[in-house]
Every structure is written in C-alpha cells, then in structure tokens.
Structure 1
C-alpha cells in the first residue's frame, strides 16, 4: 500500500506541475492575445493616419501633375500661336513702325512702300496688310493705290479698318477725317453685339485721346447705346445678374485652415467655408476698386505715343482667328495661378469667360473692362470709366450678392464625433451637448463590454472538462483528468482574459470620452470664432457701398491732350 501511495503521490505531483505549466502557458497566450489586440488598435489608428496622408499625397500629386500639364500645354499653345499666326506679328510691328518712321523722316518712302507690299504678299486674308499698304500710299500721296488698298482692307475687316484709321487720322491731327472714320465705325455697331475691339474705342475716350468735338460725339453715342439697352425688357435684372457674376469672380476658393476641427467633424463645413469665402469677397472687391481709383494715371508724353499704344493694342489682341487658342491659354494660366487646382481654375474661368467672347453687349464690355482688364485688354483709365459708368448696377448687384451670401449662412452647425451627432447654433450649448456625447460614448462602451462574454464553446469546454474529471477520478484515469483539468483551466483563463479585456476597453473608452469632449469643446469654440469672423468680414460690405457711392460724376472727367475737360452724365439704374 505504501508503495502504491508513493506512486500515486508522484503521479499527482507530476499532474499538478503539468497543469500549473499549462495554466502558465495559457496565461502567456492570453497576455500575448491582449498585446496583439493593443497592436491591432494601434495599427488601426496608424492606418487611418496613413490613409489621410495617402489622400493628401494623391491630392498634392494631382495638383502637381495638373500644374505641370498646364505649363506644358501653355508652352505648346504659344508655339502653335507662333506657328499659325507668327507672320502676323511682323505685320503688327510695321503698323506703328511706319508712323514713327514718318514722324522723323529717316526712312525713304520707297522703303516703306516696298516693305508694306511684301507684307501684302506674305499675309493673304489678313486685314492689316492692305491697311498698311494704304497707309504707305497715303504717306506717299499715291491716292489711287491708297484707295485700292483701303477698299481691300475694308472688305477683309471693315470694323477694325475703320477703327484703325480713326486712330491714325487722330494721330495726324486730322479731326474731320477722324470723325468721319468714327461715324463709319459707329454706324456698323449694334450695342447688343459689339466686337471685343470696341474696348480700344472706350480706352481712347477714357484716356482723352480724341479731340473735344470727336470726344463729345463718342460720349453721345455711348449714352445713346446705354439708353437703347435700358429700354429693353429685363435690362435691370440683366445688369444685376451680369455684375453679380463679375463680383463672384472675386470670391476666393481658399480652404479656411484655421477651423481644423469644424472641417474634420462638421458635415456643415463645406457650406461654412463657402460663406466665409463669400464674405471675404467684400474686402477683395473694396481693395480692387480702391486700387483702380488710387493715384493719378501717368499720361502719355504726347498724342503720338498715346495713339501708338492704342494701335498696338488694336492690332495685337483682337483677331478672332486666335481666340480659341487664347481661351485655352487663359485656362492654363488660371490653373497655374491656382497651383494646379483645376476645379478652382475652371470655376474662375467660367466667371470671366465673357471677357473672351467674340461679341458682347456694351454693358458687358464695361463689366469685362472693369473686372477682367487682363483678359479684355482694358487700361486703368478704361477701368475707372467702366466702374464709374456702371456704379449703380454694381451697387445693386453687390447688395443682391451680399444678401444671398447672408442667406446661405447655416443656422445650425452639425457635428459628428465618433458616431455621435449633435447640433449647435452659436457654440453656446456646451452644457447640453457634452453630457449627450458622454452618454453616447458610455453606451458604446457598455455595448462593447456586453459583447465581450464567454460564448457556448467556453461553457461547453467547462462542462466537458468537469465530466472528464468526474469520470476519470474513480478509475484514476489520469489522461481524462488531465484533459478535463485543462478544459476547466482554459475556461477560467478565458474568463480572466475577458475580464482584462473589459478593463482595457473601459480604460480606452475613458480616454476616448475625454478626447471626444475636448474635440467637441474645440469645435464649439471654432463655431463662436467663425460667427465672429463672418460678421467681421461681412461688415466690410458697407465699405464697398460707401466707396461706390463716393464715385462722383467728376470721376467721369476725361483728361485730354487738348487740355479740354468733359463730364459725361451718369446713367440711371
């Protein structure tokens, strides 16, 4: 008996040690599983950050590619312009070159005639070539050739030729001839469909190039155009819409980065960002108009220089054949200006595309000159003239746009944090939102903890283990006892692991609650700041109105190389 007992004790010690080792291994595995769970949580967070970085990288890469493509495309467009229309450039240079050579009499008349005749041969269908032949013949007193060449130039482009020679005759101080050419030009015009080069005429009027009699006739024609247009049904609404679009072109497309929490946790952010940018328009427009009217415009040294500038502008910028390429070039330039943001560039292009239309109404021409001087080739004097002449329409459109921006301000700001949804109006309901957010996170914690429980396999393992132990003890079947004990230990280890996991979840949710409350407070603070920011920006709308109201009829005064002053009447809206 004693021998059997010693054997039994030895066997039980071995079993006990084996079970203790198994328990230790299960505990180690449980700890490793918990560690893996923490690593998975950390990896998930890092993956979210990596996903955002990848999105930012893709967006930056797309912008870089669009920027590079626009720069490459712009070079190709300019090369195409040079290839298709480069021969026009030589003709254009000759226009003022002939006049300036005639001024100083250092080029033989025969040379001028020969040069213009060569241009005629090298540029078929181009209106300026026969116009220069006519100019050279006129300088040489060759009336027959001048008449034939002039007839050909008028056939090719009557309007540009008439405007060209009205400027040439003004340069030569031929007042009667200048008036005749201008009457011819005006006779072909429909104020609802003017060619883009009419801005040169407005520029000449605004900068005082024409003499007093001609200038008076031009002013009368322009007033008649405005009167004719104003008689059309819907004219006032058309002007408001026209200037509303022009003012919208000054709305920035910036992303207001200072509101980082709202941009991340508010579905209302796109609307908030739009109204902030809309309100920023007031400062931009006020600064833009102020710069237009700031300081004196340096006058040209003499009438010849002033007319030469207008002639250069006329012959270089308004050929309709080049217009499709000029439009593409402008879009590429806007993409470059926007740093590769094609969407923002396309929006800007859509707002200023009227400046590159072949034909526009006179009021649209004024709008283009005032708001898009680069595209419409308007001088600063023309900008002032256009703004002053249109100030009532601008003011009405600005008031309409201001009202629409104010109406678009969201009354309530939606917030979404960790699946919780809430609303605030002015960021002053923190005391109501924070408990609601905490309850939401607490509920998520309880749901998560409740889902962490022993399932049927664990209870089955406990039951089977107990049965194996009960069945193995009478016969001392150590294999059954060992397996049963292992199953029981596995059950309690799983139970202990779940308890630890629940504790870890509780700790994680406590951190999440604290972080979420901090996010909510920061977002509410940004709502308060955003409301103040909007009001501050919106208040500048009154400055725009004040500036426009301060434009008096005296700013219609056109300085003249003849030292004569004239005031045009202001049209009524």
Structure 2
C-alpha cells in the first residue's frame, strides 16, 4: 500500500524546491567568492593605507619640526640682538677708528669722545677698554692707554693680547706685534685652546704677520703638535676624531632609490648603510678638492687684511653669546636636515665647533670640515687639511675598510611569505623556481584545506536517516532529499572554490615573480653603484698625498720663507 502511495506521489513541488535550493546555493557560493576577493583587495588596500598613513605622520612631524625650528631661530636671533646688540656698536668702532686715522678725516677729540661713550654702554665687555687704549695711544696719552690696557687684560687677557698683536701689526710695529703674540702664546694650552685662535691661524696662513712673528707662529704650531703627540693614545684619538668628522659628511640615499629592495629585503638596512658609506668617498673628495681648487684672493694691503681679522675676532668669539649661538646652530641643522631632529643633534654633537675650549687638533678638524661655523678662511682650511693630511688619510682608510668589512654578501628577500637569498642576482632562475615551488605548495595546501564542513556531513547523515524513516512516514523523504541536496551542492561548491583558489595563486605567483625580478634587477644596480662609489676611495688618498703644509702657509704680505714642516 505504501509503495503505491510513493509511486503515485506528486514530486513536482519537491523538484521545484530542489531547483530553487540549487540556485540559492549557487548564489551564496558566488557571494562567498565575491566577498573573498573583496577581502583580499581590502587587505592589500589596507596595507597600502597603513604605509601611506605612516609616511604621512612622519612627513607631518618633520614639517612641524622645520616650522618650529624656523620660528625659534628667529626668536634666538632676536634675543642675540637684544642681549648683545650694544656690543655691535663697540665692534663697529674698531675698524672705523683705524680706517679714520688712515685717511685723517676724523678729529682725535671725536674719536676720544666716541670711545668713552662705548665704555659706559658696555661695562663688562673686554673690547670697550681696548677702544679707550687705542684712542689714548693715537692721542699720545700713555698713562690712560696703560690704564685702559690693564683693564682690558683683566677682562679677557687672551683676546686683548691677540687684538693688540693685530693692531700693532697693522701699524707695522713689528716688535710690539711680536711681543703681544708671545704673550698670547704664553697663555695657551694646546689641549684647551680658545676658539679665537682661528684668527691667529688665519693671520699665519694668509701671511698677515711680519717675518719674525710668522716664523714664531710656525714654530709654535709645530710645538703644539709635538706636545699633543706625546700624549698616550694621541694617534688613536686623531683617528677617531677625524672619523667622526668625515662621517658627518655622509649623505642619505634618496627615498626613491631601490624601492623594491627597500620594501622586500630584510637586508636593506645594511645595504643602505654600506652604499651611503661608499658614497662618502666621492663626498669627501669633492669637499677637499673644492677647497684646493678655489683661488685665494689676497687683500689689497695689510690694512685690509688685518681689518678682516679684527672684524672676525671682535664679532664672533664672545663666550657670553655661546649658549644662544649653540641654540642657533642646532636649529639651523634641524632646518638643514629637513626636520630630522635626531640627525641634527648627532651632527651638532659631532661638530664641536662651539665648544669654549678644545685641543689644537680638534680646531684643525673644525677649520677643515666646518668653516662656516668655525669662521675659518679658505687659506686656513687649506692649511688645516694639509697639516692634518696623514690623520685624515688614516681615518678615511679605517672608514673604508670598516665599510667594506660590513658589506653584506648575501641579500635576503621576503615576498609574500617566500624567502630567498641572492648575492648579485645571478641565481635568478633558481630563485624563480624556488618561488614557483613555494607557491605550488601553498596552493596545494590551500586547496586541500577547502573541504566540506561538518554541516554538510550532518546534511548527508540527516538524508540517510530520514530515508530510512521515510518508509514509515513518507513525508520525511522530502527532508531526506533536502539533506542529500545540501550535501551534494556543498560538494559541488567545494570544487568550485578549489578552482578559484588555484586561479588566485596563479595570479599571486605572477605578481611575486614580477617583484622578484625587479628586486634582483635593483640588486644588480646596487652592486654596480657600490663598486663605482667604493672605487672613489683611491682618489681621496691621491688628493691628500699631493698636498703639503708648506704649500699653504702663505706670505702674501711679507717675504719671509715658511718653516713649517
């Protein structure tokens, strides 16, 4: 009886339901695939967005640092003008008085009155009593000149001695100039020299002092170096000192240089550091060569030459201004380094150009590498480099050897979970095969992970159970068919998903191959450029070996021969 009921049953509704169910499963499967693709695109877009956000935050911070530095440097300069602007009036009077006397256009009484006013307006300034002494000297007031000179020496013995050494040299008072220089030398400790000694070296290297004084300067410089060289560890100290100075000239690679290696090589940090170190050779050569190829234009006469030194002495070496000068220099470095405060601080710490007292060799380093801050002339730069050439050469060799020793031989690559290594890109086929094998294994693993879920097996079990029970309750056959349908449609979609996974991995493999080939091409370019830049090291050595101190101790204002060895 039950068989007849089953035979005569109208299954059209069930067939339509199963057809509708299949369409629903197909729709859901398409939606799942679409969502999966969108998820992959979203993940890629999100990674790009995160990187862009990080770049934006970094750029914004650097711009804010620049704006803050530009604002603060204006305030510092205003404070310098406010606190020490009255010193400028005193400074201007120095060369003004000397030049006025040269042409006899100003009355001595006018000079006397002007200098007395400066004494009242700058009660602590060492230069004010110097002006009184200068005025009294011009007016033959010996007692007043001696009294003012003693006050100036009390305020600053070293600067006053150097000041009068220059003034007397300007007036061709060779004996007085030599005596003042001897006094100045007697106050000096080559381990702790004042910054204004650059004025003395400028005078010596430009041939400002008379024959006897210039010989004295040359012997004193030799004596300073000899005394310093007796110090234990002196050579090592010079190596380190010049290494720091030379490395301060390292220039960063452009952000757009080698973008694939930067993104896909964990070794990029070493590659970047090595290439920057190699590029330092060209930078150093260009720096020194630029100095030695420039022509020194001597002053028209001794008066102009001494006036330039006096202007430098009285306007750039006052200790009271040092804290503000340091702030100004650090802020200018922040602006120079485009907002990178850490790099600016490192450069500032390495310069040591605004320290109150440093060793003579450190001064030579400052003159050679940072003339814009140490206030050294071109002649002094040349002389300092020539005098320090052996130390520079040794330090440069140390830097070069250290850079070569740290050169990475193997360069690691990481592209979407794949890892490989290359030295120079010559193993391209091997790496491409390794990448293909890696992607194939990942594809097979991903395909194997695409399986029927527990719910599908439950559907199959329900279908079997309801089939057995359907012989007693025929309506359960409908539920059994639904269970079987859910299972088989799920199985069909699993195969479709596996095919989709295979396609996705083929696309991923093609993209990764492009990245790999681009990275290897950049590695070849990197090796080529490194080799070229590293080859510049010999040019630095050749340039330094071609110079000597004797060439750059000039005698443009006297006929004495240099005796510096």
Q: Under a length normalisation based on structure 2, what TM-score does the superposition of the two structures give? A: 0.95
1: CA distance, partners of 2:481 / 2:142: 125
CA contact (8 A) 1:415 1:422 kept: yes
Which secondary structure does the structure 2 equivalent of 1:38 belong to? Answer: helix
Distance 1:77 1:105 in 2: 40
Q: Cα distance, 1:473 vs. partner? A: 5.6
Moved more, 158-167 or 90-99: 90-99
Residues in 1 aligned to 2:253 and 2:208: alpha-carbon distance in whole angstroms: 42
Counterparts of 1:17-32 in structure 2 under 5 Å? 17-32=16-31
Aligned residue in 1 for 2:329: 330
1:37 equivalent to 2:36? Answer yes
1:235-281 C-alpha deviation (Å, 9 max, x unpaired)? 22221111111111111122463312211111111111111011111
Query: Which whole-Å CA distance do the structure 2 matches of 1:260 and 1:376 have between them?
Result: 39
Give, in angstroms, the shift of residue 367 of structure 1: 0.9
3-state SS in 2 of match to 1:81: helix
Question: Does residue 509 of the first structure (1) align with residue 505 of the second (2)?
Answer: yes
The equivalent of 2:159 in structure 1 is 160
What corresponds to 2:463 in structure 1? 465
Cross-structure match for 2:539: 543
Contact preservation (8 Å) 1:101, 1:107: yes
Query: Map of 1:292-307 to 2, 5 A cutoff?
Result: 292-307=291-306
Q: CA separation in 1, counterparts of 2:417 and 2:11?
A: 55
Displacement, 1:467? 2.4
1:451 corresponding residue in structure 2 = 449
* Range moving further from structure 2, 38-47 or 141-150: 141-150
**Deviation of 1:559 (Å):** 2.9
Q: Deviations over 1:35-91 (max 9, x none)?
A: 111111111111111111111111111111111111112111112212222222222
Cα drift, residue 92 of structure 1 = 1.5
Q: Structure 1's 411 and 518: CA in aligned 2 closer, same or farther, altered over 3 A?
A: same
Cα distance in 1 between the residues matched to 2:368 and 2:491: 78
Q: Which residue of 1 aligns with 2:289?
A: 290
CA-CA distance at 1:345 after TM superposition: 2.0
Q: Residues 169-225 of structure 1, C-alpha deviation per residue, up to 9 Å, x if partnerless? A: 111111111111111100000111100100110001111111111111111111111
Deviations 1:270-305 (A, max 9, x none): 111111011111111111111111142111112111
Alpha-carbon distance, 1:553 to partner: 5.1
What is the correspondence of 1:247-396 to structure 2 with a 5 Å cutoff? 247-255=246-254, 257-352=256-351, 354-396=352-394
**Using a 3 Å threshold, how does the CA distance of structure 1 residues 446 and 356 change in structure 2: closer, same or farther?**
same
Structure 1 residues 565, 526: CA separation in 2 closer, same or farther (over 3 Å shift)? farther
Q: Which residues in structure 2 correspond to 1:44-83 (within 5 Å)?
A: 44-83=43-82
Is 2:488 the partner of 1:492?
yes
Instruction: Assess if the C-alpha contact under 8 Å between 2:190 and 2:360 holds in 1.
Output: yes
| Unaligned stretches of 5+ residues in structure 2 | none
Aligned 8 A contact 2:387 2:548 in 1:
no
CA contact (8 A) 1:77 1:328 kept: yes
Is 2:146 the partner of 1:132?
no
Separation in 1 of the partners of 2:450 and 2:563?
Answer: 85
Name the structure 1 match of 2:399: 401
Q: Please give the alpha-carbon distance, in whole angstroms, between the structure 1 residues aligned to 2:255 and 2:46.
A: 26
Using the TM superposition, give the Cα deviation of residue 15 of structure 1 relative to its aligned residue in structure 2, in angstroms: 2.6
**How far apart are 1:317 and its partner, in Å?**
1.0
Residue 23 of structure 1 and its aligned partner are, at CA, apart by 1.9
| TM-score normalised by length of structure 1 | 0.94
Gaps (5+ residues) in structure 1? Answer: none
Superposition pairs of residues 67-106 of structure 1, within 5 angstroms: 67-106=66-105
Is the CA contact (8 Å cut-off) linking 1:30 and 1:493 kept in structure 2?
no
Does the 8 A contact of 2:452 with 2:491 survive in 1? yes
The structure-2 alpha-carbon separation of the partners of 1:553 and 1:369, relative to structure 1 and needing over 3 Å to count, comes to closer
Q: Number of matched residues?
A: 563
Is the CA contact (8 Å cut-off) linking 2:204 and 2:553 kept in structure 1? no
Shift of 1:444: 1.7
Measured in 1, the distance between the counterparts of 2:493 and 2:306 equals 92
